[in-house]
Amino acid sequence: MSRSSVAWKPSFEGSSPASALARIADAPFLLAVRDAFPWGFGGLLISLAVIWLLVHRVSVALLPSFGVMAVVLAIALPITLARRTGYALALVLPASLIAFAIMLPQAPGLSLAYLQELGPTGIFLAILASGVVAAALAVGRFVRPSHIRLGALRLAQGDIASIAALGTTMSALAIIVFVLHVDVSREIALALQPLARLGDSYVALLLIVAAQMLLWLCGVHGSAMLSAILTPVYLTMQMENTAAFAVHLPLPHVVVSSLFLFVFPGGSGATLPLALLLAISRLQRLRRIGRIALLPALANANEPLLFGLPVVLNPFFAVPFLLAPLVVATVSYAAIALGFVARPAFYVPPFVPAPISTYLATLDPRAPLLLLVNLVIAALIYLPFLRAYERRLA
């Protein structure tokens, strides 16, 4: 029998790089952003359904729905931030909403056109609003823990410092927007342009895929760690593709959120083929794991496989877990950049099963064929390593 994942784990946990990455992944603000995004996506899907009933065009309904997602995120993020940091919700929530409202694009009234304008940068505005509030409140934690009395009130000096810093931050933000006439939304859009050019490249795609896989192999939840940083960027680029599609212009970006539907079939590591191979394994234990993991893998949820086989911290699967998505990413990028498959125009949630998700993202019947090619490639990469693992267990 092979050594269990528990036996291998200490050698990874003892390494300082893995510990440092784990500490970054557990940073309260990053955790709060990750916790809030599912609520934002819920708002996106509900608003998409409602707006579609009004306009009957997905391409027209999607951009305003991202604006609604930004508003939901502006509410959900302070709530998750208060839970993760211990800051008073009665202070964090209204302060974050005020900061968000100050930075919103100035326009008369709330309409679909306004929500569409908010869409491309609204997610960043929501994150920035809670970020500046969190930074201001953090000031109090550096103040000596003592108290002062104001009449009958006994107040912590740290709380007073936090409130003072928050008031100063809000005042500065109001001066920047209303006195200096700085359009924060527009400045974010301008700042994203070079980032989009850098991120919409084959090299950036490989770096993202490699980083995510290496984090997983170190025992760190790679997709969760990177999502708080990368999701707003690639969602914004996805929205630019949607806007171009709506007016019949060429889609500007290849690397967008929905491209990863081609890169990670089954979840991180492109493990759907591995689940299929395990389901027909010659060993009963592996067949049981594969059949349990197969249904979640169709919805790109592969934690049962990553920790049940296990794949994480398992040297037998380290090479294919890294190699398969890199090869699949290369094939996908080449096929889409060269025009063999249409560029992803629409955001599709990752839980939508393949190959339906790839067709909905592109409206191209060739997209499911590309996904099928990727599944075959990933299966061929995983197969010899799985056979070696079977021999080890036999």
Please give the structure tokens belonging to residue 333.
């990028």
pLDDT in the model for residue 15: 47
Please give the structure tokens belonging to residue 261.
């539907």
Closest Cα partner for 302 from 280, 335, 273, 339? 273
CA dihedral 379→384→385→390, nearest 10 degrees, is 110
Please give the structure tokens belonging to residue 77.
């993020």
Closest Cα partner for 120 from 180, 211, 190, 47? 190
Contact 85, 166 (CB under 8 A): no
pTM summary value: 0.78
Residue 222: Cβ-neighbour burial (10 angstroms; 0-12, 13-18, 19+): buried
41 contacts: CB under 8 Å, gap ≥ 6: 69, 349
Q: Which amino acid is at 62?
A: L
d(CA 63, CA 112): 9
**Count of positions (residues) in the chain:** 394
Per residue in 148-199, pLDDT tens?
A: 554 545 455 666 778 888 999 999 999 999 999 999 988 988 887 787 777 8
pLDDT in the model for residue 92: 93
Q: Using the structure block, give the residue that is written with the tokens 């008073």.
A: 88
> Strands (DSSP E) along the chain, which ranges?
147-150, 153-156
Please give the structure tokens belonging to residue 64.
């305003």
Please give the structure tokens belonging to residue 165.
């810093």
Q: For the chain, give the percent of residues with pLDDT over 70.
A: 87
Beta partners for residue 156, in sequence order: 147
d(CA 173, CA 175): 5
Contact 26, 226 (CB under 8 A): no
Tens of each residue's pLDDT in the chain, 394 residues: 333 333 334 444 444 555 665 676 678 888 898 889 889 989 988 998 898 888 878 777 888 888 999 999 999 999 999 999 988 898 899 999 999 999 998 876 667 888 888 877 888 999 999 999 999 988 866 665 555 554 545 455 666 778 888 999 999 999 999 999 999 988 988 887 787 777 899 999 999 999 899 888 876 777 777 777 788 889 889 999 998 998 999 999 999 999 999 999 999 999 999 999 999 999 999 999 999 999 999 989 888 888 888 888 788 999 999 999 999 999 999 999 999 999 999 999 888 998 899 999 999 999 999 999 999 999 999 999 999 999 998 7
pLDDT in the model for residue 3: 37
